[in-house]
Amino acid sequence: MKISKAKIREKGYELGLDLVGFANIERFKNAPVEMHPASIFPEAKTVIVVGKRILRGGWRGIEEGTNWISYTYFDYHGLLNTLFIPEPLYHLACFIEDHGYEAVPYYPGVPEAKLEGIPYRENQVAPDVHLAIRIVAVCAGLGEIGWSKVFLTKKFGPRQRLHAIITDLELEPDELSQPGSICTRCMRCVEGCPSKAIPHIKENKKIQIKIDDKVYEWADIHTGRCTLSYHGADSRVSPFIHKDFPGWNIDASKQDFSEEAAYKFCWTLSTSTWRKTNQFPSGYIIEGHRMLQKWGEGGSYGICGSRGCMRSCFDWLEKIGKIEQIFKSGRFIKRKRWLLSHRVKSK
């Protein structure tokens, strides 16, 4: 039984999703095989990208410098990525299969931590295939990638997380967003980024892709520096390092780690244990980070809380009326912003 795009979208909204967009498989003709939806499902005809907003209030505690757990727990890995989106996505996939079409639910894990196997058939791509979910969302017409490399929509700006369904149901794709229709190249993301991970447009470091007849481009981010700030090795944005590392003098904005090396460094510091001493009785290397990871359902945790690439960005896009969801209380950034010194006082 054929099922329409309108019915799937309506069902998605009814289930609690905020965004539902459609890409036909032809839009992936330039995608490498290890990131191609048809490498997961060779009969794929359509990729449906779904998303749910990150609450603006989810960041309030980090913006004020007083509460970190709410963001990690509700709006990052804790529930949004592992329950609030996957549950309606799963029901939507069931709805499609009830109409006789196969629906592959796709979880946008951490591509850099992918499983590495060998191809089990000649000319077969090796596991684990991962989609570039932001590019897939562009293919599905949901928005564009901003200068910050964060995916932007007209509804929420940078405030959403995304998953996808790959199906053999053939549907008309949604219209692609016009490049530059949301991102104003204001560079507030660059100014707000603590570790200088986003190059200024004047540096001309950028990535470019073409989908159908449209060219999209964004900054070539220093992902190692971003990871240092995001996952807990930047004392400018972590009061917890200031508690547990007297004498720390590492300036994350001057490091040149690869993304993988940065993950290794951050996760070791943030989640491992150390002997209990009088000076550090918790038994953790950085207790605050460990507790966040633990309370965030044992998955990932956010320390920087996207200070520049999301918070500065939506504060600006809301102000100039570029995005639909605005708030009665006015701008998100209401007070002088805090940033600690990268140097931690010795005790």
Q: Which residues bind ligand SF4 (CB under 6 A)?
A: 146-148, 183-189, 193-195, 197-198, 226, 229-230, 304, 306-309, 312-313, 316-317
Matching residue, tokens 């993304």: 259
**Smallest separation, CB 76 to ligand SF4 (Å):** 11
Cα 213 to the center of its chain, rounded Å: 26
Closest residue to ligand SF4, Cβ-based? Answer: 146
Rank residues 105 and 179 by Cβ distance to ligand SF4 and give the closer one. 179
Q: Which residue, among 141, 176, 140, 143, has the nearest Cα to 158 in the 3D structure?
A: 143
- Cβ atoms of 165 and 85 within 8 Å: the answer is no
**Smallest separation, CB 126 to ligand SF4 (Å):** 29
Report which residue type is found at 87.
E
| Number of neighbouring beta carbons within 10 Å of residue 335 | 8
Rank residues 23 and 189 by Cβ distance to ligand SF4 and give the closer one. 189
**Smallest separation, CB 301 to ligand SF4 (Å):** 13
Rank residues 230 and 284 by Cβ distance to ligand SF4 and give the closer one. 230
**Smallest separation, CB 73 to ligand SF4 (Å):** 18
Report which residue type is found at 53.
R
- Furthest C-alpha separation in the chain: 71
**Smallest separation, CB 278 to ligand SF4 (Å):** 34
Rank residues 291 and 317 by Cβ distance to ligand SF4 and give the closer one. 317
Rank residues 133 and 187 by Cβ distance to ligand SF4 and give the closer one. 187
**Smallest separation, CB 52 to ligand SF4 (Å):** 19
Matching residue, tokens 């900054």: 219
From the number of C-beta atoms within 10 Å of its C-beta (0-12, 13-18, 19+), residue 172 rates as exposed
- What backbone torsions phi and psi does residue 106 show, to the nearest 5 degrees? -115, 120
Rank residues 62 and 344 by Cβ distance to ligand SF4 and give the closer one. 62
